[in-house]
Amino acid sequence: MSLQAVLGEAEDIVKKVVPAGVELTRVEFEGPVVVIYTRNIDVFADNQEIVRQLAQGLRRRVAIRPDPSLLAAPEEAEEVIRAIIPEEAKISSIYFDETGEVTIEALSPGLVIGKQGTLLNDIKKKIGWAPKVVRAPPIPSKTVDEIRQYLRSVHDDRQDFLRRTGRRISREPSPGEQYVRITSLGGFRQVGRSATLLMTRESKVLVDCGVDVSAENNGAPYLHAPELMPLESLDAVVITHAHLDHCGIVPILYKYGYEGPIYCTPPTRDLSSLLQLDYIKVAFGEGKKPPYESPQIREAVKSTLPLKYGETTDIAPDIRLTLQNAGHILGSATTHFHIGDGLYNVAISGDIKFERTWLFNPAVNKFPRLETLIMEATYGGYHDTQPSRQEAARRLKDIAKRVLNRGGKLLIPVFAVGRSQEVMLVMEELVRKGEIPQIPVYLDGMIWEATAIHTAYPEYLNNQLRTQIFQTGENPFLSGIFERVDSSDMRANICDDPDPCVVLATSGMMNGGPIMEYFKAWADNPKHTLIFVGFNAEGTLARRIQKQAKEITVNDRGKPLTLRLKMDVETIDGFSGHSDRMQLMNYVGSMEPRPERVLIGHGEEHKCMDLASSLYKKFGMETRAPYNLETLRLK
Ligand SMILES: [Zn+2]
Ligand SMILES: [Zn+2]
């Protein structure tokens, strides 16, 4: 539908619902949203029914905004706000967004609002922007701040980008026979470099574009496959979550001609850019040439259209996307695609945890409609049973008590995101309840920053933790035991310090990162213990150690260094962000509606095949474990 046609239709709908005199000044596509500008914003604010009717009538997401002529320039508006709000409110940041809303973040939100909202009303009258007040996150995050500032600095560019994207989504679909296909571009019959292409006659959507960090060569998915090329023909990229095996190669798309949007949750956007920056830093540190540089990461941030869980949105003329909680890490999502007008429905699980954890609610497995499910099988093998979260915590406590009481150190390799925060919560409880002495827990390699991002998005955590975070004095992440390692000198001191301590460091699978420094220093001392709490892919150092290698050769500033491994090695299952075999079976078994077909990936070959055959035997649906580079017609 053209803009003119949409404006005409919107005016008709508004005329039917509200009294005469309401003036619509302009209409614009902004990404998937139809934005209608008006001089009479209060009429809409007081009457949500009009907005609902507009969305229904136009069959699109609709946003009503004040005509730009009513808004003060952001710099000027910020001065007004700071003059009105008393200093004791302690404003930590003010940011203006595309919606005509200004968010005021403060340590004492009550003082910003004023008695019966007097201050806010005053602000609105003077600057036109609608003020929204939020409590400042308890741990400031550099990433969140920098992304906000960056988006503000590229505001005009981004407006253009949103318009272009919106017009592309609204193009008239070409007539003819419709079909739905998927091509497995990476991460099938393996873990790493996840990438799945969803194709219809009209559109192409790439779901995830990860890197296999354990690969000898570049570890990228098959991006040169003819189905994906040229990249300009791609309508959208959707990222399930921020782990590098799902988002590690995304910025490269902007190097080779992709100019379109990325859809993911707001925390996934922030965490992805944090992990991508670290990925290129680690590559540089190892003397390798990274596949992209920071300008492409910024381009990806600029091109992201954040979506909350449950918010349905058009991403192509014939495809609607909804993200749902996947329970795996902060902001992780299962993607649901509704194709055509009731033609077909596909869901891609991403990595899922189908159990409530300390951090998240379990993965959502209810959809309005579903024909094909593409799911992960990390622990899909017949024997992949995992203990519960409670049991995992108990084992960690037992090991911690034993090792720390004998004067040893605990070294825990972790992904910065997810497991780190769960292990932090368990350690904090141990110390708080006096079960182990008040030892320092050092966090090295982005874990601190990742934790800060968790507290910036409390609505993505489970209710209990959310409440704890906001009750001052009870936020477990603010416990005095946690110390951030922020220099190589500090790291060297910790390595030499004889006293017991706990170190959580990246990378989780020990292919580089600060963990290696501690490992080199402590590997030959039987007093210390190395504990694995996450999944280790085939080919990684962590996997070799788990397989009881006695001698390990590591890279020491470009030279090989052989270590004799005498420290204890323990593996604690049950902390994983992945569902075990039983949970995966239950996930499909209790899914509503039950899919007709299940395609399985993100697992070692035999696990994928094993899960495929078990699901078929138990539930009778068609199942398959595709190879990379297969194209399957779904409809
Ligand atoms: Zn993951
Ligand atoms: Zn994964």
For ligand 1, the distance from its centroid to the CA atom of residue 239, given in whole angstroms, is 11
Mean of pLDDT values over 482-509: 95
The 3-state DSSP class for residue 26 equals strand
353 pLDDT tier (thresholds 50, 70, 90): very high
For residues 179-194, one letter each, b for 16 or more C-beta atoms within 10 angstroms of the residue's C-beta and e for the rest, the string is bbbbbbbbbbbbbbbb
239 near 247, Cβ under 8 Å?
yes
Cα(517) to centroid(ligand 1), Å: 25
Q: How far is the CA of 552 from the centre of ligand 1 (A)?
A: 27
| Residue 1 confidence (pLDDT) | 64
How many Å apart are CA 635 and CA 632, to the nearest integer? 9
Q: Tell how far the Cα of 543 is from the centroid of ligand 2, in angstroms.
A: 16
- Ligand in nearest proximity to the CA of 195: 2
Residue 611: pLDDT over 90: yes
Q: How far apart are CA 623 and CA 228, in angstroms?
A: 25
Averaged over 141-167, what is the pLDDT?
91
pLDDT of residue 230: 94
Contact call for residues 62 and 33 (beta carbons, < 8 A): yes
User: Residue 561: pLDDT above 80?
Assistant: yes
Q: What is the DSSP string of 236-287?
A: EEE-S-SSHHHHTTHHHHHHTT--S-EEE-HHHHHHHHHHHHHHHHHHHHTT
Cα 527 to middle of ligand 2, angstroms: 33
- Residue 2, pLDDT > 80, answer no
CA of 351 to the centre of ligand 1 (A): 5
Q: Which residues surround ligand 2, an ion (CB under 5 A)?
A: 245, 351
Q: What is the pLDDT of residues 238-273, one digit of tens each?
A: 999 999 999 999 999 999 999 999 999 999 999 999
Q: Which of 1-15, 118-132, 302-316, 382-396 has the highest mean pLDDT?
A: 302-316
pLDDT band at residue 582 using 50, 70 and 90 as cut-offs: very high
Residue 435 Cα to ligand 2 middle (Å): 34
| Residue 306 pLDDT > 80 | yes
Q: Which ligand is nearest to the CA of 378?
A: 2
What's the whole-number mean pLDDT along residues 309-331? 96
Of the ligands numbered here, which is closest to the C-alpha atom of 602? 2
> Given pLDDT bands bounded at 50, 70 and 90, which one contains residue 473?
low
The pLDDT score that the predictor gives to residue 46 is 73
Q: Lowest-pLDDT range, 76-85, 327-336, 596-605?
A: 76-85
Query: Residue 353 Cα, ligand 2 centroid: separation in angstroms?
Result: 12
**The predicted structure's pLDDT at residue 226:** 95
Residue ranges with CB less than 5 Å from ion ligand 1: 243, 351
Which range in 33-42, 163-172, 193-202, 539-548 is most confidently predicted, on average pLDDT?
193-202
350 Cα to the center of ligand 1, angstroms? 8
Distance CA 175, CA 242 (A): 37
User: Mean of the per-residue pLDDT values for the chain?
Assistant: 91
Q: What is the mean pLDDT of residues 567-586?
A: 94
Q: Which ligand is nearest to the CA of 534?
A: 1
Ligand with minimal distance to 419 CA: 1
Q: Looking at residue 66, what is its pLDDT?
A: 87
CA 544–ligand 1 middle distance (angstroms): 21
CA distances from 106 to 78, 100, 145, 506 (A): 14, 19, 14, 32
Q: What percent of the chain has pLDDT over 90?
A: 63
By C-alpha distance, which of 48, 59, 65, 47 is closest to 312? 59
User: What is the rounded distance in angstroms from the CA atom of residue 532 to the CA atom of residue 540?
Assistant: 13
Does residue 466 surpass a pLDDT of 90? Answer: no
Distance 351 CA to ligand 2 centre (A): 5
pLDDT-above-70 percentage for the chain: 99
In the numeric block, the tokens 């200093």 are attached to 87
Q: What is the pLDDT of residue 472?
A: 60
Cα(332) to ligand 2 centroid in Å equals: 10
pLDDT band of 42, cuts 50, 70, 90: confident
What type of residue is 23? E
